[in-house]
Chain A
Amino acid sequence: MVDWRLFEPLFNWARKKSLWIVSFCTGCGGIEMPPLMTSRYDIERFGIIPDPSPRQYDLFLITGYVTPKTLKRIIITYEMAPDPKWVLAHGSCPLNGGIYWDSYNAIKHLDKYIPVDVFIAGCMPRPEAVLDGIHKLMEMIENGEADGWKRYKENYEWYRKNQEELLGEGWREKEARKWIPWLMDKKKEVKE
């Protein structure tokens, strides 16, 4: 077998130069995505393109507040990607709840549920700030500091415990079965 560790610097360079973003727009920050990708702050210069498939991305942008309902989708999307993958959270809301600090329906610390590599503060951050964050992430990838995906594997019990505390045990099955009664009998109430 070839020892692939020798090629690791090349791979890290390639990973840093071609971060594909999954188009997952949460919260207000979704409006900051198009300017990032169009002519003014053209992010494709760094090899970054938006891609609608959760199987192919490397960079997951959490662009704002996260409600428990969205968090379920975020966790599923996060777990669907193959391994070297990074999360960049921008805005104050994923950081500590932001202006929704006393909301019953916005999660306060995103880092408790999925591992975040880079946070960008601001409500909402300018595209330059996002570019700066991505630049920081590229540096971290190059010298191997960005290890969110590794942390998620090693501390899976902790993340899993936090997720289940918030969303209730067995939420994946419940979420999948949620619409079946509604489809069978439209008059029946949907129970979460």
Chain B
Amino acid sequence: MVQQLHYLKESPSQTAGPYVHIGLNPNWVDITGVWDKDLGLAIVGPETRGEPIILEGRITDGAGTPVRDALVEIWQADADGLYNSPSETRGKADPSFAGWARQPVSDQDGSFRFETIRPGRVPYPDGRMQAPHITLWIVARGINLGLQTRAYFGDEDAANAADPLLLRIPEPERRKTLIATRSERDGLPVFFFDIRLQGEGETVFLDM
């Protein structure tokens, strides 16, 4: 008889369902007065260091139909590549940058929009530098376990070409699904990140 490992099993995931907003964005669905404002609406403040950018996109299903009831969370490093987290051991992140935000997608067209800053570079475990990226987590009715992906920046060609995660995607064509395309609006860089859950142009999702 060998010794027992005594690990527990992770609680299995279940879908967030169509009414996820009741719990996570109650004011948005007119449940007012329970808490002042929904969590995660603003990620930057007037003191935040770094280059302001906009990350926007749209989520569609396998038939190309907008997913109108999803909720998106983002998590990213500050302008110096430091995370505002107790697990960050390399230095102190910008205290005026939360690094985390969430919002419901539009119930009209499945679109989302985050006003944030361009993140700095963060090392991969072997010491190579990763290209700047924002982690996204998507939950919705019909999604049994939150889908995780990353948005990279369309104007960071050299960094993207050497990114350890992008290089691990076996089909070079699919790497493009993680690269947000750049445009400009009112002098601000706008990065468009299309999320296709299934089918043609399907976004690469991560098991990390």
Do A and B originate from a single complex?
Answer: no
Q: Using a CB–CB distance below 8 Å, which chain B residues touch chain A?
A: none
